[in-house]
Amino acid sequence: MLDDLGLVVHPEKSVLIPKQKISFLGFVIDSIKMIDRVTEDEIRKTKEVLLSAIHNSHSVKVRGIARIIGYLISSFPGVKYGALYYRYLEMDKIRALKQSKGDFDSLMSVSKKGVADMKWWLHNLDDSFNDICHLPVDITLCSDASLMAWGAVMNDTSTGGRWSPSEGENHITCLELLAALFALKYFQSSLSGKHLKTMIDNTTAVSVINNMGTSQQ
């Protein structure tokens, strides 16, 4: 089928009439509410594999868990906090692959925390969504850390302190993350309901925050 410009158009893949809500690649894009959510069909498929894995959590193939992780990661664009709830499942898979020397068809047991990750998705997937765009930044918070101490600044107010002996033994990336956490706790009364931007000069720490964590053990 050709359009007015002589270009090939596939009716089953094209939307020729403007719409404010459209399904695309497993997601429903809503330009009225400016949100993105997973389609009902994809939610059903994801729940099916989750229920099966939870029921057989003491003896499930590594390949099955890898498949579930794939479903969860592919849903991130429509599940705002999804990245917070698959790390333990990923660590279970990594541990099982190390023990089986990379055999995806070997059997593994999912930890209690891994099962909790899957249950979170079962209970929250139906109502989850993600914002298509974000409101302008209200507050910028800067934090920094060294091996000796940490500090933070918001507007004209600053805070900081020295690390305890046990805290100072951590890697510098961990210290940068701790500095950001301490800064948030110190200024929390001024941050409620605000869109916050944090400034950190450690790229690894920034990546960890933007990705809502890491699967490193």
Predicted structure pTM score:
0.80
Comparison of pLDDT for 5 and 213, the residue scoring more? 213
Measured CA to CA, the distance from residue 106 to residue 45 in angstroms comes to: 24
**Residue 3 pLDDT grade (very low, low, confident, very high; cuts 50, 70, 90):** very low
pLDDT in tens, 180-210: 999 999 999 888 888 999 999 999 999 999 8
Measured CA to CA, the distance from residue 102 to residue 31 in angstroms comes to: 44
CA atoms within 13 A on the CB side of 185: 8
* Contact of 16 with 10, CB cutoff 8 Å: no
Measured CA to CA, the distance from residue 77 to residue 75 in angstroms comes to: 6
Measured CA to CA, the distance from residue 15 to residue 72 in angstroms comes to: 28
Measured CA to CA, the distance from residue 217 to residue 131 in angstroms comes to: 30
Measured CA to CA, the distance from residue 29 to residue 10 in angstroms comes to: 20
Q: And the tokens for 25?
A: 């690649």
pLDDT in tens, 25-50: 889 999 899 999 999 999 999 999 99
